[in-house]
Amino acid sequence: MSSAAARLFFGQVMHRRLRPVENRFVYPVYFCLLPLSRIEQVRSALFAVNRWNLFSFHFADHGARDGSHPLPWIRQLLRREG
């Protein structure tokens, strides 16, 4: 698998509260690992960048939310917040 490969992971989220009333739940989740520095190179019949597909990543939904690539926004945030 190349470093530009998008990956899909499966897992579980668990929450437990003890006060004021005890509550606990577990549910399945999935998440994607996307190589943002090379996202335009990811090739898949099911995944697309900035266009419709079964799985899509739209720049306008992430980072500055203005349609620009989210990576500069992320890097600026990391520099600012340390």
The yes-or-no verdict on residue 16 having pLDDT over 90 is: yes
Rounded to whole angstroms, how far apart are CA atoms 59 and 9?
21
Report the largest interatomic distance among the alpha carbons of the chain, rounded to a whole angstrom: 50
* Measured torsion, CA atoms of residues 49, 52, 57, 58, in degrees rounded to the nearest 10: 90
Percent over 90 (pLDDT), the chain = 76
Residue-wise pLDDT tens digits, 31-72: 988 999 999 888 889 889 999 999 899 999 999 999 999 999
- pLDDT attached to residue 8: 86
Domain boundaries, the chain: 7-81
